[in-house]
Structure 1
């Protein structure tokens, strides 16, 4: 284990700044410069180490995407955030145990992102084995948001894999912007977040001889918690600040991140007057003036994006036009905490617009737009595919010529090549030659865009899409891991709540309401579904007295789960199966009705080998 002290942290922080050449806007970066900036940023996280921040505060840095922080009190230790996997949390916890053997008495989860609590379970299990009682603290909404997030797991999982470059080789990937790498557990685990102590806006707690405040500071997430330890003058702001431009919008997708709330929360944080700031990503910051100045610049950048986007919104500018208008002042653009390694100014502007005005940009031509495929078909009917591919290749070659002469790509030309080639692919060209040429240009444009992109996650996304194309993946779809998740990980309630979200309304008879119940003998829970106008409502443990139903199925939950994921075929179940069906008369009618219920559930990702 390598312990780094206060003076070494300052040296690292200053080195990370001075190794950079004079900063210029990303649009003018050469490919070599973009690579050098990202390589320098990667060096920030290497080697992984335990940093002795001071006054009993230790930060495990560079082991995975996020930090794990230990505060040593008089009678025990308090942990803030537990990384993105049980594997790495266990490893880091053993490193912490080389510093102190005091009992673990508290864990603070700063917010619902999985890279901040996936390591809770091994720490809690170790504490249980040692006979220690551990408090788990979080905002009152955090556990609920974790549970609700299960329902977007398929699409977020696939988009996150692109954002974090999970399929990229070590040669292709640099870093993940706010950490060296996202490292989920070798075996996926999705257990409910168990919290023992919650708060709403602000509360004071004492554990292990440490008195600390938990402050609700919505920013990157609405449940974000800032930890403040007055006796140490130490603040732990979670994900509201890190050494990269803030991720005001994440390309993996999320609900709107309220930018106004974010800068207001940074005001709360900077006015605490901390001597130490230990974020949950990137390096700790030390010194009252240094902490305040960094927080101020970060806050000002966030507010600048918000204010200037609003300015142009109210002048009736469209999103594309606002993106061209909003540019950070040089004092912020050059700041080492505001380089676009993670978030992007352009993405942020679009997010503020969409967050306050929605998807419609006020142009009537976009009120009911054609689909991508319809537009592509229309264009290729008046402009030949050969002409479109010729123009795409021309733009790509112009950018490559500029790269050879100046070291820089022409991003507008690359973007045009990318859009034209994608449009041809959307039109589904009829000849093999056109398809091959469009695909090659598309891949080449993606890789060229990646090479001139400073954002690590933007680069990862471009490169991953290029790899998907090279593997013949035309459209992302449910992963095979989804079947494993439903079979091994998802809770009973979580699986039963999926039915309305997976209901195949196109096969529903809107003139025939349905009502059916599942009574699980192993858990004692009853789930009642009512379908009306092809809308499914679910009641859990309803009052059943006198309530009519079309079918009631009594069985163990494990049996129904096996049927849902395709392990068990309904019609192969004999009369000896531990499943009681009632409501339709003869057993064969009940079985057919149960099959109808199952058929109305979209089980894509369970029953096929789609990527």
Structure 2
């Protein structure tokens, strides 16, 4: 068989793995052209803080505020600059870079990632010149957390991320997030992220010229978080373990449970340092040892209070719904501006903590075996869909959008077609415009927009250097979720993939609707492979990212197949294509 014939057959290799997609996408023109209600005052006041500027809160420490969702911080040393959190997208990162280097000219010696969220790493390439490349520092856990959003739950996390950041919502309704300017979604397709060149666990001390910098692993908003301490200047950079809003103990874009107890411990370790300057990666710097001590103490006490209230309630036998509805901050914390629920939200946090501690079951026996047609029966008891829709109209007239959304959800759960999408749009938009939590606001308004029109997916343009840094395991990790059991329910077959450059070997098995990926020797009971693929890791990544075709790989002697092409084609058809 010719290489060209093999190339055509092997186009189906793309079914094995999907191209990477972004958490954020370019925004189409907004549907809501004018604001129908004033922006909630507390969010409007926060947005006013993000006028782009560079401040020097401590000698030789410069922070670019208001250029992007996260602050970028430059530490000046006698040998050059150290950059902490280089921004999200290249266009805004370049603006912040120019403003910062105007205040602190010199070479960039190192880049420090406080954690792996894209708003803290996507602008790295803007800080890398033609000279000696800077060191890039992060915790050992960085890589796993950076790539996990592109694995099995890539589609769900991406979709939810679009909603949380209001991809399609215009600046009239979402002028900022509570932590910084609204992300520049128009430029998010060209990521400048770079993988770390140096990682550590625990404590790492660095020296650049006359400056000693300590990196402390400090789990909190993520499991790969660190904080930066400059002892001689008494400057603490907490990353996202502190910002001026109730902490995001649970993010509605979806993630594994955040380590609440470790977050409290990280804050206590920061308090022990007694810093004179606190420069977070979101919101404004704080000055003064007493002011900072009070802020960090209030922050950890707020987290500890919510955790303890959940545990006390669970021990008392209270269900998660009643806990989420009733838990708030105690009087000594409730009026603190830095604990306003502008970004994190207490009831969301309560549900996440309860689930992390005890799982989904909250002792209500009726939850074990729920009535499957309950919604349909309830709608019938209300007088049927027409009566329910009349109450939805009345609820909106009474300015009760939550009740309207509840009733409309009941109608959908009953299996009734929605006769009036406009009611849902009105309810979502009304509630969204009343919401001061920027994540909740964005999610509701984005959901309203998507009821009017679909929003096309968008892919990140991964450049050569970032592609080289991505681990090959990423490109196998999502296969279990991409298998279509309706096609593969009776199959028990395998293929093998060998990489020339690393001498790594993978075996992919489909066994009665379950996909199994094994690195190395196949497990006992694995059938003889239908076909064996030999290639190099970069070719595999190029194919996965759709940067080149299988025909190109074959014609260039980058890829070979030994075995039945027809069987290989049938095997690959078990896996879902695309996003």
How far residue 455 of structure 1 moved from its aligned partner, in angstroms, is: 0.4
Alpha-carbon displacement from aligned partner over 1:212-237 (angstroms, at most 9, x marks no partner):
21112211112210111110000000
- Alpha-carbon distance in 1 for matches of 2:106, 2:548: 50
Alpha-carbon displacement from aligned partner over 1:306-365 (angstroms, at most 9, x marks no partner):
111111111010111112331212331111101111111111111111111112222222
Equivalent of 2:480 in 500, 508, 523: 500
| Higher deviation after alignment, 512-521 or 300-309 | 512-521
1:464 is aligned to: 446
1:449 is aligned to: 431
* Mapping of residues 539-550 of structure 1, within 5 Å: 539-540=518-519, 542=521, 548-550=528-530
Unaligned runs of 5+ in 1: 1-30, 400-412, 584-589, 606-611
SS of the equivalent of 2:398 reads helix
SS of the equivalent of 2:321 reads helix
Distance 1:292 1:563, change over 3 A: closer
1:198 is aligned to: 199
| Higher deviation after alignment, 523-532 or 92-101 | 523-532
Alpha-carbon displacement from aligned partner over 1:66-90 (angstroms, at most 9, x marks no partner):
0100010111111111111122222
1:598 is aligned to: 572
- Alpha-carbon distance in 2 for matches of 1:569, 1:598: 16
Q: Is the 8 A contact 2:121 2:193 kept in 1?
A: no
* Mapping of residues 226-305 of structure 1, within 5 Å: 226-305=227-306
Distance 1:489 1:256, change over 3 A: same
Distance 1:334 1:249, change over 3 A: same
1:528 is aligned to: 507
2:411 is aligned to: 424
- Alpha-carbon distance in 1 for matches of 2:548, 2:111: 41
How far residue 379 of structure 1 moved from its aligned partner, in angstroms, is: 3.6
SS of the equivalent of 1:84 reads coil
- Alpha-carbon distance in 1 for matches of 2:115, 2:404: 40
How far residue 557 of structure 1 moved from its aligned partner, in angstroms, is: 7.4
How far residue 42 of structure 1 moved from its aligned partner, in angstroms, is: 0.5
Q: TM-score, normalised by structure 1?
A: 0.80
- Alpha-carbon distance in 1 for matches of 2:185, 2:366: 44
Distance 1:563 1:306, change over 3 A: closer
How far residue 292 of structure 1 moved from its aligned partner, in angstroms, is: 0.8
- Alpha-carbon distance in 2 for matches of 1:106, 1:484: 25
Distance 1:212 1:520, change over 3 A: closer
- Alpha-carbon distance in 1 for matches of 2:367, 2:510: 34
1:19 is aligned to: none
2:8 is aligned to: none
Mapped pair 1:395 → 2:395: yes
Q: Is the 8 A contact 2:531 2:565 kept in 1?
A: no
How far residue 254 of structure 1 moved from its aligned partner, in angstroms, is: 1.0
1:608 is aligned to: none
SS of the equivalent of 2:496 reads strand
- Alpha-carbon distance in 1 for matches of 2:461, 2:409: 33
1:140 is aligned to: 140
- Alpha-carbon distance in 2 for matches of 1:488, 1:370: 54
| Higher deviation after alignment, 135-144 or 336-345 | 135-144
Equivalent of 1:120 in 124, 143, 155: 124
Distance 1:316 1:85, change over 3 A: same
| Higher deviation after alignment, 143-152 or 64-73 | 143-152
- Alpha-carbon distance in 2 for matches of 1:502, 1:70: 43
Q: Is the 8 A contact 2:47 2:175 kept in 1?
A: yes
Q: Is the 8 A contact 2:193 2:466 kept in 1?
A: no
Alpha-carbon displacement from aligned partner over 1:35-58 (angstroms, at most 9, x marks no partner):
22211111011x200111121000
Q: What is the number of residues matched between the two proteins?
A: 535
How far residue 396 of structure 1 moved from its aligned partner, in angstroms, is: 2.2
1:44 is aligned to: 49
Q: Is the 8 A contact 2:497 2:507 kept in 1?
A: yes
| Higher deviation after alignment, 132-141 or 559-568 | 559-568
How far residue 280 of structure 1 moved from its aligned partner, in angstroms, is: 0.4
- Alpha-carbon distance in 2 for matches of 1:112, 1:248: 16
Q: TM-score, normalised by structure 2?
A: 0.84
1:480 is aligned to: 457
Distance 1:57 1:282, change over 3 A: same
SS of the equivalent of 2:273 reads coil
1:609 is aligned to: none
Distance 1:257 1:460, change over 3 A: same
SS of the equivalent of 2:337 reads coil
Q: Which has the higher contact order (CA 8 A, sep 6+)?
A: 2
Q: Is the 8 A contact 2:189 2:459 kept in 1?
A: no
* Mapping of residues 64-103 of structure 1, within 5 Å: 64-103=68-107
How far residue 278 of structure 1 moved from its aligned partner, in angstroms, is: 0.3
